[in-house]
Amino acid sequence: MSIRFLSVSSANFTLHPQLAADTIPIGDLPLCRVLLMNNRHFPWLILVPMREGLRELFDLSDADYPAVMEEVRDTAKKFAGLTNAHKMNIAALGNIVPQLHIHIIARHTHDAAWPNPVWNTSVKPEFYASNALSHMLKKVKECLALR
Amino acid sequence: MSIRFLSVSSANFTLHPQLAADTIPIGDLPLCRVLLMNNRHFPWLILVPMREGLRELFDLSDADYPAVMEEVRDTAKKFAGLTNAHKMNIAALGNIVPQLHIHIIARHTHDAAWPNPVWNTSVKPEFYASNALSHMLKKVKECLALR
């Protein structure tokens, strides 16, 4: 009951249409919606704090900031384990999509862009195959214990 | 005295040689060394937690993680104000330099890579001119009240 009380109502929260177009929603943490980037080249989650009107990490309230960052930490650690990542890339950029969102990307030395960051590369995004997508969504949902 | 006790001794801390080569040290926060990337195209700080052997954000201890993230938040907010940034880009990547470091980059709509991230671009890094460098170092040191 206390967990329920602490969690954010998503009733007034609207995901930016560009994020909605590029990703698949997996579920919600207490503060952040968890999305999977639909790009089979990189295991790539995006966390979106379910508050309206945020652009910068420092726009989060004094109470929300450490709680969101703890969700980032926990998600990154578990996703690194799930994907057997060599390195995690964690970033809040938002130059194009203004709604605050945090990238959590599992990198491998054999991936298509290594060792470069995943942005501005010549690697064209490719959707997951249907079975691979279902499998990934299920694994992440279990791993992060998402609602 | 309590501040001194809480802050990290840098005696056993060694900056990775690649970070040392690309940046100029500005000063220390209680947990992080603050570096300026010597690239006049982007006002660009790097925070390096002064602990040995860290690669991932989640390698920070339960006590250090929120404290480092608070230093990131405070630095980003103040640096955004100092540089009149349109957007801050905050990232922990580390694919090439394994020592944990956090990029805090002030972006402007007129900068050389906008709206792309600063990595993997065709924009060649250029050093600051001597006067501009001294001015930037002084302003950041004052703005962040660095030791």
Give residue limits of the domains in chain A: 9-143
Considering only the beta carbons, identify the residue of A55, A57, A107 that sits closest to B90: A57
What 8-state DSSP symbol labels residue A66?
H
> Mind listing the pLDDT tens digit for each residue in B78-118?
999 999 999 999 999 999 999 999 999 999 999 999 999 99
Helices B64-83 and B130-144: angle between axes, nearest 10 degrees: 130
pLDDT tens, chain A, 147 aa long: 344 444 565 667 899 999 999 999 999 999 999 999 999 999 999 999 999 999 999 999 999 999 999 999 999 999 999 999 999 999 999 999 999 999 999 999 999 999 999 998 889 999 999 999 999 999 999 999 997
What 3-state DSSP class applies to A83?
helix
Would you call B117 an interface residue with chain A, using a CB distance cutoff of 8 Å?
yes
User: b/e per residue, B98-132, with b = 16+ CB within 10 A?
Assistant: ebbbbbbbbbeeebbbbebbbbbeeeeeeebeeee
Would you call B55 an interface residue with chain A, using a CB distance cutoff of 8 Å?
yes
Q: Which fold has domain B9-143?
A: HIT family, subunit A (3.30.428)
Q: Which chain A residue has the Cα nearest residue B79?
A: A58
Q: Which chain B residue has the Cα nearest residue A70?
A: B66
Q: How far apart are alpha carbons B98 and A11 in whole angstroms? A: 41
What distance in Å separates residue A60's CA from the closest CA in chain B? 10
Helices A64-83 and B64-83: angle between axes, nearest 10 degrees: 110
Q: How far apart are alpha carbons B101 and B22 in whole angstroms? A: 13
Interface predicted TM-score of the whole assembly (ipTM), two decimals: 0.93
Determine the residue type at B7. Answer: S
What distance in Å separates residue A46's CA from the closest CA in chain B? 14
Q: Do A91 and B89 touch (CB under 8 A)?
A: yes
Q: Do B89 and A88 touch (CB under 8 A)?
A: no
